[in-house]
Amino acid sequence: MDNAILYAPWRNDYVAGEKIEGCVFCHISSSAGNDEELHVLYRDEHCFVVMNRYPYTPGHFMIIPHHHTDALEALDPQTWLHISVLAQKGVRMLKEGFGVHGVNLGMNLGKAGGAGIAEHIHLHLVPRWERDTNFITSIAHTRVYSTDFEKIYRRLKELSKEYF
């Protein structure tokens, strides 16, 4: 079998890009003037909605409270309810506006729970389509991102004006 090369140029920022000191989500929370650069879809006084820079599928985004905590049980109940409302709106946007067939919702709490950024809770919304996985995910443990990240961000940003 020949060796295959998969190119993922958007990951270069992860490897060689500028590193943010402290919590990346707190940085985004406090940087409202840079929403386009940071790929924020929506923000209000309780939360913000931001694209996942290393998505599982096209359109993967997260809902994140401004309040820095690693403990869901310590989050103000009103903020948790607000996250739930935003999740409903996000699912509706993905289904009606983006044409997805399903959505995975999830929170990985703590490093042992699988959180990549364990210090600040966040809810993932992962768009799914029928037959959206293929053999390469199974045999090579590799995901193929089939479309341009910036193009998806611009589309969802426009949709977010209608849905959030």
Note if 122 is an active site residue: yes
pLDDT in tens, 24-73: 999 999 999 999 999 999 999 999 999 999 888 899 999 999 999 999 99
Residue 106 forms beta bridges with which residues?
A: 124
pLDDT in tens, 104-161: 999 999 999 999 999 999 999 999 998 776 544 544 555 555 678 899 999 999 999 9
Q: What is the DSSP string of 15-37?
A: HHSPPPSS-HHHHHHT-GGGHHH
> Residue holding tokens 């929170």?
107
Q: Which amino acid is at 84?
A: S
Burial of 29 (0-12, 13-18, 19+ CB in 10 A): buried
Any domain includes 19: yes
pLDDT at residue 7 tops 70: no
Torsion of CA 71, 40, 128, 132, to 10 degrees: -120
Any domain includes 35: yes
CATH number of the domain to which 133 belongs: 3.30.428.10
What distance in Å separates the CA atoms of residue 63 and residue 49, rounded to the nearest whole number? 5
Any domain includes 4: no
User: Which listed residue (66, 122, 124, 141) is catalytic?
Assistant: 122
Structurally, the chain folds into a number of domains equal to 1
Any domain includes 106: yes
